[in-house]
Amino acid sequence: MLIIASCKKKDDTVLPPDKNTDTTDNTTPVGDTSITKLFERTPVVVWIEAAANFSRLGTAEKMSSSFQKLVDIGVKGVVVDVKGIPGLVSYHSTIAERLKSWNGSTQAADFDYLRNAITEARKKGLKVFVSMSVFAEGMNYYGTKTGKVFTDPSFADIQSQVMTASGEVKKITDVYNYGLLNPVQPKAQEYELSLINEVVSKYDADGFVLDYCRYYDICADFSDYSLTKFKEWAKLSSIRPTDIVQTWTTSNGAVVPATTGPQYKNWLEFRAQTVYDFVSKARNTVKNAKPHMAFCSYSGAWYDSYYYVGVNWASKTYDPSSDGFSWASLTYKNTGYAELLDMFMTGNYTSTLTGAGWWTVQGQINGSQKVLKNANIHYGAVDIGNTSWSNLQNMKDAIKMLKQQTKGIMLFDLVHIDDPSANQFNKQLYDDIKDALK
């Protein structure tokens, strides 16, 4: 999951009122009643990233102890990450390489991380959601290169190609530490769908969650293959990168458009359509294997700029082009995939609680309600360890707001709660979170 810390902070020591934002009368989406009941019983979930919790949950006994601590503070479900950025999986797979060692720790060869997590969670009454970083297949971790983009030439060939500030196209692993694939590539889609099918079919989880089901950023993907597919999609006689973005610049360390070209809006729609089509295939894969399994996704809550990664998580009935978003084409609304999801988590990763706009918690809640239009069950999320909180009460108030004004809350991450060195308060946060969840 991409973590973006708030760019500013505000000392809000009291919970703001729910003025004009009450959600108690919101109707749930029409659909599988068993899924609706599942989320009614699971209003608080904790995300468990695979690598960060590798040693913490390396045995069944450790899982039992950690899960009990979560139950004791009011957690009802866990999101078990089984495929992180390196592309290694935390279950017995016949397709992908397994994550068996990380950062000096090693799990027993016969230890099935996911199966044990499900078993121990069930004993505690916790619901289990399995997540995968979909298009992520490699990471350069402090000089150690792991994943298929480094070990398999056929995957190296379909890794994302990104634009640099000078206008040069390079393989993503030549520029960044993340080895993401090009979502347009059929081989990339087929491989990721095969993993989704494998884990959903083999393991008795309650839901599946898409993560990193997107492009790397606005600078991706400018490969010849993507340009050709765009030309066909847009019915153009020819296409050059400068037809999309004429010049590039750097802002806050990211390569972004300085001057856009005549095909820019069409390009954004093409990318969003690519992601929409894959999400539709992923949903079908999950539902064909387990018809009553919840199909879910995570995305950042900042809808106004999330088009940078090729994602339109709004309802198809919401039209951003008529709502002040100048980057949206008249048909961009057709790429909204909210209706494909049973449950959707937004990362509300800011310490600023009140105020308008997409970088306050209240603004994100209001904006999400506006663009989702009750198309799915919406959970808010707090990034406990990467957000710059003004104080503990600030964090607790964010949790309270999201729990009160959305259908549920996701807490990111177990490591931030359990490890004092992984949060700014330098202590375990179980009691503080328990207090916030009351």
Burial label, 172 (beta-carbon count in 10 A; 0-12, 13-18, 19+) = buried
> What's the whole-number mean pLDDT along residues 1-6?
35
Number of domains the chain contains:
1
Whichever domain contains 196, its CATH number is: 3.20.20.80
In a domain, 347, yes or no: yes
> What's the whole-number mean pLDDT along residues 253-272?
98
3-state DSSP assignment of residue 312? coil
Burial label, 162 (beta-carbon count in 10 A; 0-12, 13-18, 19+) = buried
What's the longest Cα–Cα distance across the chain? 62
At residue 17, does pLDDT exceed 80? no
Residue whose pair of structure tokens reads 């105020």 in the numeric block: 355
In a domain, 234, yes or no: no
In a domain, 238, yes or no: no
- Work out the pLDDT band at 31, boundaries 50, 70, 90: low
Query: Using CA of residue 290, residue 293, residue 294, residue 296, what is the dihedral sign?
Result: negative
> What's the whole-number mean pLDDT along residues 175-184?
97
> What's the whole-number mean pLDDT along residues 224-239?
98
In a domain, 394, yes or no: yes
The two three-digit tokens of residue 322, written as one number: 């008529």
Cα 126–chain centre separation: 21
At residue 266, does pLDDT exceed 80? yes
Q: 89 and 83 in contact (C-beta within 8 Å)?
A: yes
Report pLDDT digits (tens) over 341-396: 999 999 999 999 999 999 999 999 999 999 999 999 999 999 999 999 999 999 99
In a domain, 319, yes or no: yes
| pLDDT value for 1 | 54
Residue ranges making up the domain that contains 422: 33-135+184-215+266-437
> What's the whole-number mean pLDDT along residues 12-18?
29
In a domain, 344, yes or no: yes
In a domain, 149, yes or no: no
In a domain, 76, yes or no: yes
Which among 438, 364, 371, 376 is positioned nearest to 407, based on CA atoms? 376
The DSSP bridge partners found for residue 300 are 347
Report pLDDT digits (tens) over 382-400: 999 999 999 999 999 999 9
pTM exceeding 0.85: yes
Report pLDDT digits (tens) over 110-162: 999 999 999 999 999 999 999 999 999 999 999 999 999 999 999 999 999 99
The two three-digit tokens of residue 11, written as one number: 């000392």
